[in-house]
Amino acid sequence: MRRRFTLLVMLMMVFVSLPAAVRSRQESSATLRLGFVGYLFSGPEYDFGSVSGAQLAVDQINRAGGVAAPDGARYTLELVIQSATNPVEARAAMQQLFESGIVALLGPEDVDQMLAGSDLAAGYGIPHLTSTESPALTVSADGYLFRARASDAVRARALADYLVNQVGYGHIATASTNNTAGSAGVAAFESVLAAMALEPVVSTRHDPADFDMSADAQAIARNAPEVVVHWGNAYQAAFLLQQLRDLGWQGRFVYSDVDALFLSLLSPGEADGVLGVLSWSYMLPEPATRTFLADYVQAFDRKPTIRSAAYYDAVQLIAGAVRAAGPDPGAIHAALLNRPPYEGVQGALDPGGEMSANAVIVAVDGTTLVPRAEARYQDALCVAGCRNTPLLALLPTAAPTPADTVVPTETPEPTETPTPTIPTATPVPSDTPTGTATPTETPSATPTPTETPTWTPTVTLAAPEPTDAPSPTETPTVTETETGTPDEGPPPVKSSTPVVPPEQAATLTAQPTATEPPPPTPTRTPGPVYVQTGDVRMNLRSGPNDALYPVVHVLPSDSTLRVIGRNADNTWLFVEYTLAEQTDNPQTAQAWIAGWLVTPVEGEIELLPILAPWGATPTPGPTPAGVPIVALLYSFDSEEAMDMVALLLKLEEEYGDRGRFVYINVKKIEDYPLYNRIYEGTVPALGLIDHNNLLRQVFKGTLSEANLRARLDDLLGLPSD
């Protein structure tokens, strides 16, 4: 009897505990974990956009209710991040994540790190999506590896077509860094040239540790090419361009990855006209890009990178695979291979391993240091910006409304000063308070901090002529009877209007005769200019730079503002806004707003006065406020200076997440007033500038590595050994 009673108790214990165990398994399965391997630094200004892009997609999907599988189960997503700085660490991180229960893996983007673990995904049966562009990574049509942005092979075909068939260059030189990425990239470009029956007039290779480009520059200049194409290290590309200009070469320079680092090494004059070939650009006018740009800026208070778009698309594709096939990694893999084409932020993304065949030719505006989109390629065909396919093909057929420009998944609310952080293993919830802004809401005044930098010009406004309420201006319409170039103004959005076929373009484009005199230029009188925000609340800043100047006010959605000034390229507008609605005496103030996030509704922005330079920042490239700066002045003629460049580049890899490292050719010092105080007639010269912008120390000549480390530790507030 006692034995039967004991058995009954045991069965009851099992029965009672079973629902809890089942419930525990259900709770754990309600969250799908996505692994991410990449660089993780201490602040958002050192996240190259990879993690942020993936996290934005995760947050948007979760806020919308998660992902519903075919069986009705609903899942939220979680990003689990492992940092890796070399191939050995990368492989170990991949193995750890594969064994932790993830359903898909993202990253890394570094080709050597990716190659170190490219064999793992198939063994674990888990799909692996990367933004690695190098053709050194082989991606098959039916494997477990997926490339989430266009490869260098795709970019090489687009660049070769643009240079040879569109512009007409035939005298081309190539240069590259002699590493995995540089060698594979330039080889892809040269193979496309060979298919065009062309070969480089000269081809140079640089050791990754060599930053003296004088011999390469002389070899290239002697052959007088029309264009030089560089693939590889940003420092070497910038130094090569500078030395070519010093030798008097005036041809066109192309750097495969025109990014912020490359541009930060050049003066505006040096950067002007430099071409690049990218897999995506935030300057593109398509609606998906405009919406993503607005959402990303709202979330992280900075512009997205190419990696941001690639990993945002990658997470959306994984979520789509779960919706179609369920949460099992094998089912996700099969769905990614067999899904229909998907229109992502980057453009059309195909099923299979090579997802993207999109490329963008950009040209740097020397006034603004902004890479402007020149031409758009899909599957090696120019679809906009080339002969017979003008950029007008990307314009809408009707005037866009603010809703066309910014369509958020949820109306986010701002904080006083948005301070994004690098996401951790748990998805970061929105850090904004709850509530919904209405179009008529007028936020209360926010005092401008007196201790923060400002760029606020003095503007006296004449009383505007009485006008009706601002109404949208007409936008050029693409028809079958005319083509042209878009008017100046905000980037337009894409429509379904077909591109004009090449055989029709000659008859569809009106051309003036050779003897026809140009029409007289009418004198235009400036009038009131108004812009409107979209369906998100937007920040106003004390100056025209989102890295240097703080937020002074937050606008409600659908605000209409009078514009009273601009910077040189209209990327920032100086506007008047209402602080508080009062019946008798409404109060107004003035601040800066990002020009690419608003829609003009009345007047001509180009007629307004320019009240700030290209970025209102004296430093080369964006400098995060409150970050110590290590500035080195060098000259290619000084062997000691180039030794210091090599040493500082080495230490930057170790210290780069705590301060900003700046390298300035002393011949261009006049372009950078902030660093004039460092130069005393000799190079190398090293200046240490603290977070309060105070010049702490200046060192002339070379420093030993131990001495330089001690100085950096002191500047950055690190404990000494």
Q: What digits encode the pLDDT tens for the residues 287-311?
A: 899 889 889 888 887 788 899 999 9
Query: Which tokens belong to 99?
Result: 């064994």
| Residue 626, pLDDT score | 57
Measured CA to CA, the distance from residue 389 to residue 382 in angstroms comes to: 7
310 phi, psi to nearest 5 deg: -65, -45
Query: Which has more confidence, 166 or 646?
Result: 166
Kindly state the average pLDDT of the residues 532-552: 75
* pLDDT greater than 80 at residue 373: yes
Query: Which tokens belong to 594?
Result: 């990002």
* pLDDT greater than 90 at residue 557: no
| Residue 44, pLDDT score | 37
User: HEC profile for 324-378?
Assistant: HHCCCHHHHHHHHHHCCCEEECCEEECCCCECECEEEEEEEECCCCEEEEEEEEE
Sign of CA dihedral 443, 449, 450, 454: negative
Radius of gyration over every alpha carbon of the chain, rounded to an integer in angstroms:
28
User: Is 395:492 a contact under the CB 8 Å cutoff?
Assistant: yes
Query: Which has more confidence, 569 or 274?
Result: 274
* pLDDT greater than 90 at residue 676: no
| Residue 513, pLDDT score | 38
pLDDT (tens digit per residue) in 139-148 = 998 999 999 9
Sheet of 370-378, strand order: 203-206, 172-177, 227-231, 252-255, 275-278, 358-365, 370-378, 381-384
DSSP line for 435-460: ----TT--PPP-PPPTTS--------
Its pTM stands at 0.59
* Distant-in-sequence, close-in-space partners of 533: CB < 8 Å, separation ≥ 6: 402, 406, 555, 557, 558, 559, 561, 593, 597, 598, 599
Query: Which tokens belong to 86?
Result: 């070399």
User: Is 37:96 a contact under the CB 8 Å cutoff?
Assistant: no
Kindly state the average pLDDT of the residues 477-497: 33
- Lowest average pLDDT, out of 347-356, 461-470, 564-573, goes to 461-470
Measured CA to CA, the distance from residue 520 to residue 502 in angstroms comes to: 32
Q: Write down how long the chain is.
A: 721
Query: Which tokens belong to 567?
Result: 């910077």
Kindly state the average pLDDT of the residues 433-445: 36
**Beta strands in 156-226, from DSSP E residues, in sequence order:** 172-177, 203-206
| Residue 470, pLDDT score | 36
Residue 672's Cβ-side half-sphere holds a number of Cα atoms within 13 Å equal to 26
* pLDDT > 70: percent of the chain: 69
- Which residue(s) pair with 356 in the sheet? 349
User: Is 579:559 a contact under the CB 8 Å cutoff?
Assistant: no
504 phi, psi to nearest 5 deg: -100, -15
Q: Which of 119-128, 336-345, 483-492, 541-550 has the highest average model confidence (pLDDT)?
A: 119-128
Amino acid letter, residue 483: T
| Residue 549, pLDDT score | 66
Q: Beta 560-567 vs 572-580: how paired, if at all?
A: antiparallel
Measured CA to CA, the distance from residue 304 to residue 542 in angstroms comes to: 22
Measured CA to CA, the distance from residue 289 to residue 379 in angstroms comes to: 19
| Residue 699, pLDDT score | 87
Kindly state the average pLDDT of the residues 183-206: 95
* pLDDT greater than 50 at residue 449: no
Query: Which tokens belong to 273?
Result: 């006209």
* pLDDT greater than 80 at residue 339: yes
- Lowest average pLDDT, out of 223-227, 546-550, 652-656, goes to 546-550
CA distances from 561 to 582, 603, 604, 713 (A): 17, 12, 14, 47
Long-range pairs for 136-142: beta carbons < 8 A, 24 or more residues apart = 136/111, 136/180, 136/181, 136/183, 136/184, 137/111, 139/353, 139/354, 140/353, 141/337, 141/352, 141/353, 141/354, 142/337, 142/352, 142/353
* pLDDT greater than 90 at residue 322: yes
- Which residue(s) pair with 343 in the sheet? 348
Query: Which tokens belong to 9?
Result: 């108790």
Query: Which has more confidence, 123 or 525?
Result: 123
Amino acid letter, residue 216: D
- Lowest average pLDDT, out of 36-50, 92-106, 494-508, goes to 494-508
| Residue 421, pLDDT score | 33
Measured CA to CA, the distance from residue 194 to residue 171 in angstroms comes to: 13
Measured CA to CA, the distance from residue 277 to residue 145 in angstroms comes to: 24
Kindly indicate the confidence band of residue 368, based on its pLDDT and cuts at 50, 70 and 90.
Answer: confident
Kindly indicate the confidence band of residue 638, based on its pLDDT and cuts at 50, 70 and 90.
Answer: confident
* pLDDT greater than 50 at residue 213: yes
pLDDT (tens digit per residue) in 87-112 = 999 999 999 999 999 999 999 988 99
Residue 152: helix, strand or coil by DSSP? Answer: helix
Q: Which of 549-558, 565-574, 681-690 has the highest average model confidence (pLDDT)?
A: 681-690
Query: Which tokens belong to 383?
Result: 């679809």
Kindly indicate the confidence band of residue 613, based on its pLDDT and cuts at 50, 70 and 90.
Answer: very low
Residue 593: helix, strand or coil by DSSP? Answer: strand
Number of other CB atoms surrounding residue 231 within 10 Å: 29
Q: Beta 587-594 vs 551-555: how paired, if at all?
A: unpaired
Query: Which has more confidence, 317 or 284?
Result: 317
Query: Which tokens belong to 349?
Result: 């993304």
Measured CA to CA, the distance from residue 96 to residue 485 in angstroms comes to: 53
* pLDDT greater than 50 at residue 194: yes
- Which residue(s) pair with 389 in the sheet? 386
Q: Cis before residue 108, ω within 30 degrees of 0?
A: yes
* pLDDT greater than 90 at residue 224: yes
Query: Which tokens belong to 327?
Result: 């949460």
Number of other CB atoms surrounding residue 700 within 10 Å: 14
* pLDDT greater than 90 at residue 362: yes
* pLDDT > 90: percent of the chain: 39
Query: Which has more confidence, 265 or 416?
Result: 265
User: Is 283:372 a contact under the CB 8 Å cutoff?
Assistant: yes
Query: Which tokens belong to 391?
Result: 């950029």
User: Quick one: which of 699, 704, 602 has its CA closest to 643?
Assistant: 704
Measured CA to CA, the distance from residue 104 to residue 90 in angstroms comes to: 16
* pLDDT greater than 60 at residue 624: no
Residue 151: helix, strand or coil by DSSP? Answer: coil
User: Is 254:185 a contact under the CB 8 Å cutoff?
Assistant: no
Q: Which of 121-135, 276-290, 609-623 has the highest average model confidence (pLDDT)?
A: 121-135
pLDDT (tens digit per residue) in 11-26 = 344 333 433 433 333 3
Query: Which tokens belong to 560?
Result: 């209409």
DSSP line for 60-125: HHHHTT-EE-TTS-EEEEEEEEEE-SSHHHHHHHHHHHHTTT-SEEE---SHHHHHHTTTHHHHHT
CA distances from 459 to 608, 611, 643 (A): 11, 9, 49
- Which residue(s) pair with 31 in the sheet? 76
400 phi, psi to nearest 5 deg: -70, 150
Measured CA to CA, the distance from residue 177 to residue 651 in angstroms comes to: 20
- Lowest average pLDDT, out of 43-57, 117-131, 400-414, 677-691, goes to 400-414
* pLDDT greater than 70 at residue 158: yes
User: Quick one: which of 627, 619, 626, 630 has its CA closest to 712?
Assistant: 630
Number of other CB atoms surrounding residue 278 within 10 Å: 25
Measured CA to CA, the distance from residue 520 to residue 512 in angstroms comes to: 14
Sign of CA dihedral 69, 75, 77, 80: negative
- Lowest average pLDDT, out of 88-97, 564-573, 579-588, goes to 579-588
* Distant-in-sequence, close-in-space partners of 696: CB < 8 Å, separation ≥ 6: 688, 689, 690, 715
